[in-house]
Amino acid sequence: MNRTHAILSMLMISLAGLCGAATQEPSEEENGQPRVLRIDDRFALRRVEEPRVSPDGVWVAFTVETIDLEKDESESRVWMAPVAGGEAVIMTAGGSSAGSPRWSPDGKYMSILSDRSKDKDQVFVLDRRGGEARQITDVKQGVEAYEWSPDGKRLVLVIEDPDPDALSAKDKTKEDEKKTQKPWVIDRLQIKNDNEGYLDRRRNHLYVFTLEDKELRQITFGDHEDSEPVWSPDGRSIAFVSNRTEDPDANYNTDLWVVDPASPAPKETLARVTTNPGSDRSPVWHPDSRRLAYITITRPEIADFAQTDVAVISIDDPQPVILTGKLDRLAHDPRFSPDGSTVYFRVEDSAEVALAAAPVDGGPVSRPISGKQRVEDSAVAADGTLIALISTTRFPAEVFALDPAKAGSWAAAPRRLTHVNDQALDGLFLPEVEKIRATSGDGTEIEALVYKPPGFTEGHRYPTILWPHGGPMAQHDWGWDFEAHLFAANGYVVVLPNPRGSTGYGQDFCVAIWADWGNLDLKDVLAALERSIELGWSDGDRLGVGGWSYGGIMTNYVITTTTRFKAAISGASGALWVANYGHDMYQHWYEKEFGLPWETRDVWEKVSAFNKVEMITTPTLWMGGEKDWNVPIQNSEQMYQAMRRLGRETLLVVYPDQHHGIKRPSYEKDIYTRWIAWYDKYLKGE
């Protein structure tokens, strides 16, 4: 990676040129009139995450991420808001990030993970009535995650094995910084992960930390990753997730395990709870401390294309009960009701993400919170009040509460508790969003969301951007989508298709593209676009296409199949799949779906858009992060190089030291600026 830095620097395009072409003129906001959204609005908006309700149900804590474009960094702080309604309170000071808010069992204290020591994340505790946060852990390699014990006397910590050669930031000298980095020596099947880089044998394990005497004691061991620890309500067991097969790198299996945190020999108390060969994760304890609800994949042979189900299992009986077997939709993040009779979970369905409820003893699934919105997270208060993080096409995620009615029914729509982004959104003219249905080439009906530009007029055809989603196992939904809003604000109709391969439409719909990328899903996205043209919204002579990750991959299939698009943007995309084998982090996925490249090379070549690169006549902007190990930048480099060799109009932009998701605010602004400039140039002639 370091050897390529000089080459990538040569490929970087200066921020002049195209960036200047995308400057947006001020609108009528100075006169008190609504204005359209601009690029800089992205950095005024704040991200709300991690709602956690206090034990007495009076407060909900959450994090708020703020971006400082001048400092080119983001910062997260912890807030809390009264569940009954009222003004939110900022709990942590600025100058350092804080996250993972948790309540002590007595509700008197709030704990956080923070890097305020200017080194690694540590656990801090603060009195919810006010005062400075007090650091309670001092782990050299930092704390990855943590949870309180029910008695409030202990914490379970997730800690990575120490690097014997690592020095903390406070111990480093200038001479240390000048030392040559040691080579990576790798003996694992899994070579690297995005955001981590090359992997060694250090693993995450569980530790119990006693608050009174600061004792730190390791309770899980071995060449395995341990994660998601949760205390049983009686405090006698900790459940966690781990892949303890002979070679965890060779499969996607994870199981639920339990360990006695108080045992002097915790290895001897370790017990496996689930035996499913697929992934079992996200455990939560039933109030009886004998059962666990969790998310399970029962069809591991189709990897990430498999639907996830909510299951309940007793630690005394290895046979789980699947609560959502007939649902045929992707389920996430189970939560028990206070009495243990119901499991709440998020479910993806037809461009919605709802909060659903399944009775533990069997019965139909209901949806207490549903509609044109995305439920992004949830919590359950002791009195049964549901806390949900909800976003819509009108606003980014905010915290809501839903009060249970007397007879177990739901009295009203959720109450909004926070208004973190009201000021940033005030005065913005946001576009109309509509769901359309289209018939694909083989008769399959697919859906798409369409964003219309402000001032949209029926009968007038607009330049249009087709924007497939990433994944492919994902969906465009009714939640906040800044990119779609930005394109619409700049005068474009934006078509967001959910083709086959998408979640939210059932198992068969999702797995339909298995080992056949760029076929049915390509037909589906083009059918959605054609429907927008038929409705009179889109100008068929001014079409653009683009996306990131699988959205970029789909863009590659589009522009190597048809020449009707006038502009394309391919972000973090794949093109020559055999060249990714052993270079990115997905070799196991590829082996399951495509086979071994030296045995089934025809499958690998069939799904590789690079093999039809000579078909591209669409001016294409290739983009990505220098250190992306999810879909490496080499794919974009190869496609760019081929287009240049063919004499086609193209550009390559590589963001230094960035991964699959571009995190640096100035780079994020650069991306948006280039997107608008590229489409304006080729679709509007600007």
Q: Given a cut of 90, is residue 12 above it in pLDDT?
A: no
- Out of 159-168, 298-307, 355-364, 668-677, least confident range: 159-168
- Angstrom distance (rounded) from CA 3 to CA 329: 45
Residue 8 has pLDDT above 50, yes or no: no
Instruction: List Cβ neighbours of 685 (8 Å cut-off, separation of 6 or more).
Output: none
Tokens linked to 572: 């973090």
pLDDT band at 169 (very low <50, low <70, confident <90, very high): low
Mean pLDDT is lowest, of 80-84, 402-406, 506-510, 631-635, for 402-406
Distance, CA of 349 to CA of 330 (rounded, Å): 8
Strand runs labelled E in 24-72: 47-53, 59-68
The per-residue pLDDT of the chain, averaged, comes to 92
Looking at the DSSP assignment, which residues form a beta bridge with residue 651? 621
Mean of the pLDDT values across residues 60-84? Answer: 96
- Report the C-alpha gap between 422 and 417 in whole angstroms: 12
Would you say residue 24 has pLDDT above 50?
A: no
d(CA 608, CA 585): 18
DSSP state of 512: T
CA distance 22 to 674: 7
What values do phi and psi take at 529, rounded to 5? -65, -45
Looking at residue 406, its pLDDT comes to: 35
Residues 278, 296 contacting (CB under 8 angstroms): yes
Matching residue, tokens 């045992």: 263
CA dihedral 491, 493, 494, 500 (to 10 degrees): -170
Q: pTM score, two decimals?
A: 0.92
DSSP SS3 for 642: helix
**Pick among 3.40.50.1820, 1.10.340.30, 3.10.20.600, 3.40.50.300: CATH of 2-28+429-684:** 3.40.50.1820
Q: Which long-range contacts (CB under 8 A, 24 or more apart) does 94-99 make?
A: 98/63, 98/124, 98/133, 99/49, 99/50, 99/63
**Tell me, what's the pLDDT at 28?**
45
DSSP 244: -
H or E element in which residue 623 lies:
strand 620-625
Give the C-alpha separation, 535 to 537, whole Å. Answer: 6
d(CA 29, CA 35): 5
Given this model, what pLDDT does residue 119 score?
75
pLDDT tens digits along 438-486: 999 999 999 999 999 999 999 999 999 999 999 999 999 999 999 999 9
Give φ, ψ of 588 to 5 degrees.
-70, -40
Angstrom distance (rounded) from CA 417 to CA 53? 12
Residue whose entry in the numeric block shows the structure tokens 């994340």: 121
Indicate the range of 129-143, 295-309, 353-367, 572-586 predicted with least confidence.
129-143
Name the residue among 236, 237, 204, 238 with its Cα closest to residue 221: 204
Determine contact, residues 198/181, Cβ cutoff 8 Å: no
d(CA 249, CA 244): 10
- In the chain, domain spans: 2-28+429-684
CA dihedral 105, 232, 291, 144 (to 10 degrees): 100
